[in-house]
Amino acid sequence: MDFQKWIYDGISYSSEGEESRLIKEFLEENSESDKNLELSSEKDREWYFSTFKRFKLWMEDTKSFTEFDIDAQNILQRLYFQQEAKKEDPFLNFYSKNAGSYKRRYVAQKQTETEHLCNIRKQEKLKRLQLQRKVGFRNLFKLLVASKKPLIGHNLLYDLLFMLNSFQGPLPNSWADAKNLVHSLFPEIYDTKLLALHFENRFTSTSLETLYNSLNKEDQNGLMKSISISLPLGFLDYHPDIINSSGAHEAGYDAYITGCVFLRLREDLNGDVKDFVNRVHLMHSFYVANLDGNDIDVTKGPVVLVYDFDKRMTTTDFLQLLGDRPGQISWINDTSCYLVMANGVDEDELMNHLKSVPNIKASLRQ
C-alpha cells in the first residue's frame, strides 16, 4: 500500500460525534469577529502604532488600489490590526498570499460594498465546503440511512459493524444493542451469503467471486434469462467477458457483482425473500444473526464438541472418522472442533462411535 497516497489523497470521514464537534468549531470560528482583542505587550503596541500610521496614509490615498502589506510578526498583531482597520473601513478585504519558502504574506485591499458582500459570500461558501470535506464519507452514510432503501451485502456483518464504528460512533457494549442500532439505521438488509447457503449443494463455494462466476455460467446455460443488467459508461470493464481477477475486491466491482448475485438468487426464489430480510450470516457459528429479533439456530442434527486430540489431525481425518454419517467440521483451534451433523443422524450411535475412538474426547451439545 502507498501510505503517502492514502494520507494525502484518501477520503476523509467522521462519526456523528466528530461531525457535531466540527460544526461547533465552525460556528465558533465564525463568531471570532465578535471578540474584542487587546495588545498587552509594549512590543506589540509599538508595532501596531507604526503599522497603523502607514495604513492611514495608504487609506488617504484615494487613487491607490494597491495592496497594503500588514507585515505582522505574530497572529495576535495581525488579528488586532484587522479588528482596528475595519473600524476605519468595514469593507476592507484581508487575505494571505504565498511569499515563498513556506511563508505567507497577509495584506489588506480596498473594495466597494458590493465587492465586500461578494467576498463574504465566497468565504462563507468556502468554509462550508471545507466543513463538508472534513465530515467526508459520513455525508454519504447519512444519505444511505435517510433513504431507507434495502441494503445488500455479502457476508456483511463485519462491514456493518465497521461502518457503524467509523461513520456513526463507538459500537454498543452488548450484541443486542448493536443489532438494534443496525436495524434502526438500516431497517431492510439482505445477505447474499445466506441466500446462497439456502441452495444446499448447488455451489462448490459461496465466496462472492466464485458465486458470481457460477451464476454467470448457469446464465449462459439458459437457466436465468429474465435478469438483464446494464453497465454505465466508465464501468464497462466490469462485464464478465472482460473482467479478470484483478477486479475482485475493488469496491465498485464487488458492489456490482453483489447486486447481480442478489437479483439472480431472488429470481430462483420467485421473488420471495421475506425469510431472509434482516438475517445475516455468522462465520463459524451455529446461528444466523437476526437483526430484528432473536438469533436463529440453524443446526439440523446433533452437534458434538471434540477436544484434546492430536493437533496434527485434519478435516479429512475427521470426515473419515465419521464414515457415511453426513456432517461438517467447524474448527475452534488446533486441538478442538465441532462436528455439526445433518438431520437424521442418530446422536446415541454417534456418541458411542466417538467414545470408541482413542485419544479424543467428545461431548454432545445440549
pLDDT in tens, 272-290: 999 999 999 998 788 999 9
Entry pTM: 0.72
Contacts of 307 (CB under 8 A, 6+ apart): 332, 335, 336, 337, 360, 361, 362
In angstroms, the CA 1 to CA 342 distance is 44
Run means of pLDDT, 10 residues per run, the chain, 366 residues: 66 93 84 75 95 93 81 93 93 86 87 88 90 93 96 96 96 96 97 90 85 84 66 79 61 89 92 95 89 92 94 90 87 91 91 93 89
In angstroms, the CA 236 to CA 242 distance is 8
317, 338, 320: which is closest to 328 by C-alpha? 338
φ, ψ of residue 97 to 5 degrees: the values are -130, 150
Amino acid letter, 303:
V
Q: Measured between alpha carbons, how far is 257 from 3 in angstroms, rounded to an integer?
A: 28
Q: How far apart are the first and last CA of the chain?
A: 47
Q: How far apart are CA 185 and CA 48, in angstroms?
A: 55
Q: Quick one: pLDDT at residue 20?
A: 95
Q: Helix, strand or coil for residue 215? A: helix
Under 8 Å between Cβ of 182 and 144: no
201: left (phi over 0), alpha (psi -120 to 50) or beta: left
Residue (of 194, 192, 188) closest to 150 by Cα position: 188
| Residue 64: predicted pLDDT | 65
Give strand pairing partners of 69: 107
Domains and CATH numbers, the chain: 11-135 (no CATH), 151-298 (3.30.420.10), 299-364 (3.30.70.330)
What pLDDT was estimated at residue 192?
A: 97
Distances (CA, A) of 334 to 282, 285, 310, 315, 323: 21, 17, 8, 11, 22
100 φ, ψ (degrees, to nearest 5): 85, 160
- Please give the pLDDT value at position 100: 79
The amino acid sitting at 337 is C
Given this model, what pLDDT does residue 239 score? 75
- All three cell numbers of 137: 464519507
Q: What pLDDT is recorded for position 30?
A: 63
3-state secondary structure of 152: strand
Instruction: Note the pLDDT of residue 4.
Output: 65
What is the residue-wise DSSP string for 88-139?
H-TT-EEEEEEEETTEEEEEEE---HHHHHHHHHHHHHHHHHHHHHHHBTHH
pLDDT the model gives residue 144: 95
pLDDT at 335: 94
pLDDT at 225: 59
